[in-house]
Structure 1
């Protein structure tokens, strides 16, 4: 992510040094201003706000003689990195805060890194778990939570325990989602498993886009999925997965810590959709203090959030509580009136050096993040979950928290886990792969070539199975094309018996695809205009083989009479006779026509002469 220009940040931060770090209230206590930046519209933000308010009340009730008083200023980031950075600048400029609790998201922490470096004010986040948040470039950043990479070995151990060879991660396309993948790949390779495909869900994905991706996953052979995304996105994913039939027998789902830690606050319909999934979450030791605090937290939360009665205390709320105790203790230890730029490093060291047993367990930030915890493996059942075991890097799996296995590691065979109820309420461990059964297999029509069986030869098994076997060049080309697809494509051959003439048989064979009896037809099928009008053909991958054979004469007599060669002597003689015959016939027709004309003129002349004589006689008589 691009950093804000240092010049602009410098101008915005100059006001930080105009005030003093602490004020004195009417009770003579030194006030230490601390900023809190949370997404108050999210589950984590709502849970954490109640926890940190109770933390300050409990801390000063426990230490009434302290001369410092932490004053919190809570800002809402509304889930925006820009808004989180703006809130941080406001806290530094107008309240001169000595520390900032938050931000909530890893992307917001990246955006605020330059602000923390320039202001020299510690930034402590109990929710930013991205592995890419390193302390080399952000010296004033403290992760009061775990690194997401710590859970990948527990996930890889689960995959090895159930003897799965392939797994598909489904993750959100953000820094939080992407940054765990390299570590997950390494962990899986160390356990003889691999990732054949990565399912990346955009942060702005709609329900239709998620369903489309799920259908794509259904066409693959892998049936083991690791879900790493926000709780809101995971809720939509599992709801749609149940709709399309992917929460049934044979499937295996593993949810990472980010979703598993909020499992108690998810809607009951979402939990029902997630039934059978496994989850990895941080184990919190049970204690009387924790039980009492849970009761007080629930009462306080319902008073402050009457519209969210289902939300329950999570590990993020406990980390927020313990973080505020560490900040309040550091404020009392430093007791300085220096400006932030001078005592920021001292205040940071006080936070890192303070170690105590809090509600979340042993709270130690000496390495700028919490120490590797013991993970709890859960199984979502009904409208809740049940515990199936624990995992640590040193001892591997165990059914109970107190069980010690110092002579084993997570790489050992036969770890201990309680039985799991898998999707579809099955108790049988999924194989991890299946030939996709969400729809019918691809129906591939085949027939035996009429003249070239080497090209394609098909035959139907006469036994009770009735399966069709096919071989030949066309079959090999088809099967090689299927192998090159990036996903599994199940298919079966369907035999077509050619009868009648060759042309009509192949026309009918191709027409079966148009009728949807076959999804595809392979064979020595000629591409013709009529057939192309109702089916699509692939590009030809062999030559047509059509050729014309003519005799070749070695020598030709090149003489003047070469023009006579195209016809044989007989043909020439016949042509001459026909020419003479035609001339005679034409002459006769002309001759007979002229004779008939001459004869027809004789009676007319005689009639004229007779008329003349009569008139002459009449004239003489007069």
Structure 2
């Protein structure tokens, strides 16, 4: 009995030891990673849920991994200084081996400089400014597309609509300014001008925005390309609707910064944006993506119980999700052992930065991250060039009825309605016909012209000048109202041209007084007023001269120049029937006949000597014909 008890105890001890050993073997080494996000912003909240869910899903699939990511999420509060301070705290307190974020491009510059010194990789899936390059920031990796990749799709859309001028409305930050050189170059390639750039400060108040919209509505251009954060864009479109800039005749295009998260915007903002076009990254639908969206929505509501239920998983969240998987794979390959051995960071002054140390496995971790290629939920995840490779497809959307609908895609082959069909490359307005119908602002189905004489502000100033020839132009100024009226051929032509415009033109006549100056001199002065911008247009019987062409451009002349050619005319034309003999003189005709007869005699004689049977018979008409034929044959 005693032996049986000892055997049972020994068996239980073995089972306990085995369980402890199994638990010890199941404990994975912690790989600390910092996450810096603006948790007060929509993008920050979406990204936080995505990275946390990605870590859960990864280790649910890879239970046997010896390493495990431990995410430390901190709030940057949208401040560059706060983001840099958070990065230092993560490095000091948690000894993080990598930092995910930072959310803003300006924050990425601060934190990447710290990463360069400590050799800690900085991976951002939200900083999209093209100015961020690994040449100056070797430990910075962009796990998203930079903004320059979308400019060709925007330019193709502008060209398809036939617009010649656009206004860039952007946030006055590193993010907003970064796209401008690339956007301007893309538009210049299709001969589209950017006459004005509207820079909106990130701290702009409602009053500041209303003042800037007043400047825009006073311009002739009616096409606006908006590149700013979702918070600023929401304010812009809400105020634009209040001042009537979302009515018929206006056109708005948003970049993917807003279009990518259009589903998560406030319904009142989406309603104000009705008619807006947007360019966004295209992610094909899949069953795996639908399943992730369901779990993401559940987790987001748990983390943000007081947030709007309209927030949805976007491409930004998918980039964050795939980034976590890439870092988790890299952490498993690099391991933890070398990460625990760090060297102090030498400093010349005594500061809190003395406690920061250089990561010994940072270069190896960076190398593994950029070499990790896989098919993620956002598409092909490839960081070979230290940034996500350029996508070849952008989705064009149209905001309608408190939502959006797809109107087509942009690829290297141009604008397409469907991706599955094989289209030939088309450009210009012909490509617009391949897209689904667009509902423009004001519920219009017609493509806006892109310009309009503003209803507010000054009228077009048309200078007129009385002429000695009143049939051309005659002016009259009302002494009471001081209004100028004009009549004559020149005025009739000008007003007929105005009627043929697609939009009404508001103008007023301004008389140029020529009473105190000679006519010739006064016309030079009159033309010069256009150069001085006193008038936008000058209408009169103005002669086009070289000295005047130095200052203004003239239209094509609408009267005959008066230049003609004078040639002598002979009335005594010879109508004799023998007129055909005139080209040769009498002597030439006589000489020609003699030569002809001489040739005939010689031919006849030669034929007679050789015994031609036709020649030895009595002379007849037949012989004459043969002789003539022989003459032409010999000649």
The correspondence for 1:468, drawn from 481, 485, 505, is 485
Matches of 1:175 and 1:140, distance apart in 2: 20
Match of 2:402 in 1: 383
| Partner residue, 1:220 | 219
Match of 1:362 in 2: 380
Which of the two has higher C-alpha Rg? Answer: 1
**One of 425, 429, 449 as aligned partner of 1:431:** 449
Residues 50 and 443 (structure 1 numbering): CA distance in 2 closer, same or farther, change over 3 Å?
A: closer
Are the counterparts in 2 of residues 211 and 240 from structure 1 also a CA contact under 8 Å? Answer: yes
Structure 2 gaps of 5+ residues are: 1-22, 340-357, 489-503, 512-533, 536-635
* Structure 1: gaps of 5 or more residues: 1-23, 472-488, 497-520, 523-622
Number of residue pairs aligned between Structure 1 and Structure 2: 454
**CA distance in structure 2 between the aligned counterparts of 1:418 and 1:308, rounded to whole angstroms:** 34
Residue matched to 2:316: 316
Q: Which moved more, 1:404-413 or 1:284-293?
A: 404-413
Which residue in the other structure is 1:493 paired with? 508
Q: Tell which deviates more after alignment, 104-113 or 303-312.
A: 303-312
Aligned equivalents of 1:331, 1:411: Cα separation in 2: 51
Secondary structure of the equivalent of 1:312?
A: coil
Corresponding residue of 2:584: none
Alpha-carbon distance change, 213 to 469 in structure 1, aligned in 2, over 3 angstroms: farther
Q: Deviations over 1:24-63 (max 9, x none)?
A: 9884311110000000000010011111111011000001
**Using the alignment, how far apart are the partners of 1:109 and 1:55 within structure 2?**
22
Q: Supply the distance in 1 between the matched residues of 2:419 and 2:248 (Cα, whole angstroms).
A: 30
User: 2:419 pairs with 401, 404, 419, which one?
Assistant: 401
Partner SS, residue 195 of structure 1: strand
Report which stretch shifted further, 411-420 or 66-75: 411-420
Checking the alignment, whether the CA contact within 8 Å between 1:39 and 1:78 is kept in structure 2 is yes
Taking a change above 3 Å as real, the CA distance of residues 95 and 415 of structure 1, as seen in their structure-2 partners, is farther
Tell me the equivalent position of 1:534: none
Q: So what's the TM-score if we normalise by structure 1?
A: 0.68
How far apart are residue 470 of structure 1 and its match? 8.2
Shift of 1:272: 1.0
For the 8 Å contact 1:458–1:495, the answer to whether it is kept is no
Alpha-carbon distance, 1:212 to partner: 1.4
Cα RMSD, aligned residues only: 3.3
Distance 1:353 1:411, change over 3 A: farther
Partner of residue 330, structure 1 = 330
| Secondary structure of the corresponding residue to residue 449 of structure 2 | coil
Q: In the superposition, relative to structure 1, how do residues 447 and 96 fare at CA in structure 2: closer, same or farther (>3 Å)? A: closer
> CA–CA distance in 2 between the matches of 1:133 and 1:495?
54
Q: CA deviation at 1:350?
A: 1.1
The 5 A counterparts of 1:445-484 are 458-459=475-476, 468-469=485-486
After TM superposition, list the pairs within 5 Å mapping 1:506-521 onto structure 2: none
Task: Report the TM-score when normalising by structure 2.
Answer: 0.67
Q: Check whether the contact 2:222–2:251 (CA below 8 A) recurs between aligned residues.
A: yes
Partner of residue 284, structure 1: 283
Equivalents in 2 of 1:467, 1:417: separation in Å? 49
- In 2: Cα distance, 1:228 partner to 1:103 partner: 20
Q: Residues of 2 paired with 1:304 and 1:253: CA distance? A: 35
Q: Would the alpha carbon gap of residues 356 and 208 (structure 1) be closer, same or farther in structure 2, given more than 3 Å must change?
A: same
Aligned to 1:515: none
CA–CA distance in structure 2, aligned partners of residues 246 and 407 of structure 1: 34
Other-structure match for 1:82:
81
User: How far apart are 1:440 and its partner, in Å?
Assistant: 7.2
Partner of 1:259: 258
Post-superposition Cα deviations, 1:311-340, rounded to whole Å, max 9, x if no partner, equal 111111111111001000110111141146
Indicate the residue corresponding to 1:392 in structure 2: 411
Cα separation, 2, equivalents of 1:185 and 1:217: 19
Deviates more, 1:288-297 or 1:353-362: 353-362
Superposition pairs of residues 159-170 of structure 1, within 5 angstroms:
159-170=158-169
Does the CA contact (< 8 Å) of 1:397 and 1:410 recur in 2?
no
- Distance between the aligned counterparts of 1:470 and 1:495, measured in 2? 13
Deviation (angstroms), 1:459: 4.0
